[in-house]
Chain A
Amino acid sequence: MLLDLSEEHKEHLAFLPKVDSAVVAEFGRIAVEFLRRGSNPKIYEGAARKLSVSSDTVQHGVEGLIYLLTESSKLMISELDFQDSVFILGFPEELNKLLLQLYLDNRKEIRTILSELAPDLPSYHSLEWRLDVQLASRSLRQQIKPSVTIKLHLNQNGDHNTQVLQTDPATLLHLVQQLEQALEEMKTNHCRRVVRNIK
């Protein structure tokens, strides 16, 4: 599958062959850093001054690079497809090699970052538990009522959320049994077939 690059995008990337590879490598590093942490316009100005071009040009160059990397990573295109897509831009061979290396080196991390943008449900982080026995309450004395207190740690959008819950021994056994069944389900023929065939 080839990347579909718009005219505007190609224009922005056209800046890259005009500077030497060390600069392109540096842009690549900035691009990934911006994906990790968000963009920082001051960097554009600094680079623009050093290269004697407008900061807009630098910004477009870096953003073009970011888009190139994210689209390639999103679609998980093969090396060959990446090379073919970039070939259209008419860049020198050395630049193409550099871009390919940039893609391959950062693909995994970019995919991880992109996966964080998906609709997010709270996800499991960890669980703490404690055994308790209730001995008495205001309305009834001399009890022996065992219970399990659970602190469930969840993550959502980077926020850590805890829930404190309780359950009785019978329900605890039921929970374990049900969730073990859930784990077993992945090992069934049906699931294995699906995993094998959808690739």
Chain B
Amino acid sequence: MELSEYVQKGFQMLADPGSFDSNTFTLLLRAAFQSLLDAQADEAVLDHPDLKHIDPVVLKHRHAAAATYILEAGKQRADRSTLSTYLEDCKFDSERIELFWTEYQNNRNSLEILLGSIGRSLPHITDVSWRLEYQIKTNQLDKMYRPAYLVTLNVENTDSRSHPEISFSCNMEQLQDLVGKLKDASKSLERATQL
């Protein structure tokens, strides 16, 4: 795990029972998780009465260090032994290691979901809507009398958070072709999961 010196120093300071008692330590850890996982979180996360006695600069340093470490651990999918080893190297006592591990376990799922959702991917289909119509005539052609489908795919772009739509028309044969191919894909998926 590669952490900058600034972060490492900050993190190591958390181990010192003199400057941080267990209660303060837990509060700070929880604040760090909250900053990362709660979309509405802001600086107020550190406004706890029990943290007021600490110099704000120091507090921010420790908070940032904890948050950075948590992200690294989450990214690497650290297991208990990896975590314990690193925390021991930072001179954390076993009580603090246990506290850290508990908080980490509590928040692990949300952390991994958050990290997994970051990144670029192709536009993602989220939904489909369709319309069936019976075409009767156009200004160029009378007596058409044929059914047609209008299919709209709702698509999400991870980058721009935009929601473009892709619409296209098709007749019955074409829709059957489309559905057939999608069914092939889902059968393939089923088979792959059984391997």
Q: Which of A's residues lie within 8 Å of B, judged by CB?
A: 74-76, 111, 114-115, 117-119, 121-124, 126-129, 131, 137-143, 145-150, 152, 154, 163-169, 171-176, 178-180, 182-183, 185-186, 191, 194-195, 198-199
Whether B134 pairs with A169 at a CB distance below 8 angstroms is no
Whether A182 pairs with B168 at a CB distance below 8 angstroms is no
Whether A115 pairs with B186 at a CB distance below 8 angstroms is no
Q: How far is the CA of A194 from the CA of B167 in the complex (A)?
A: 25
Whether A127 pairs with B166 at a CB distance below 8 angstroms is no
Q: How far is the CA of A158 from the CA of B122 in the complex (A)?
A: 26
Shortest CB-to-CB span from A24 to chain B, Å, is 26
The interface residues of chain A, by DSSP majority, are classed as: mixed
Judge if B75 is at the interface, Cβ distance under 8 Å.
yes
Shortest CB-to-CB span from B81 to chain A, Å, is 15
The interface residues of chain B, by DSSP majority, are classed as: mixed
Shortest CB-to-CB span from A6 to chain B, Å, is 19
Judge if B106 is at the interface, Cβ distance under 8 Å.
no
Q: Which 10 A-B pairs rank lowest in CB-CB distance, beginning with the nearest?
A: A124-B170, A140-B115, A166-B122, A167-B125, A139-B118, A182-B130, A118-B138, A129-B185, A122-B168, A124-B174
Q: How far is the CA of A119 from the CA of B133 in the complex (A)?
A: 15
Q: Scan B118-132; emit 1 where CB is below 8 A from any A CB, else 0.
A: 110111111111101
- Residue of B132, B141, B144, B147 with highest tally of chain A CB at under 10 A: B141
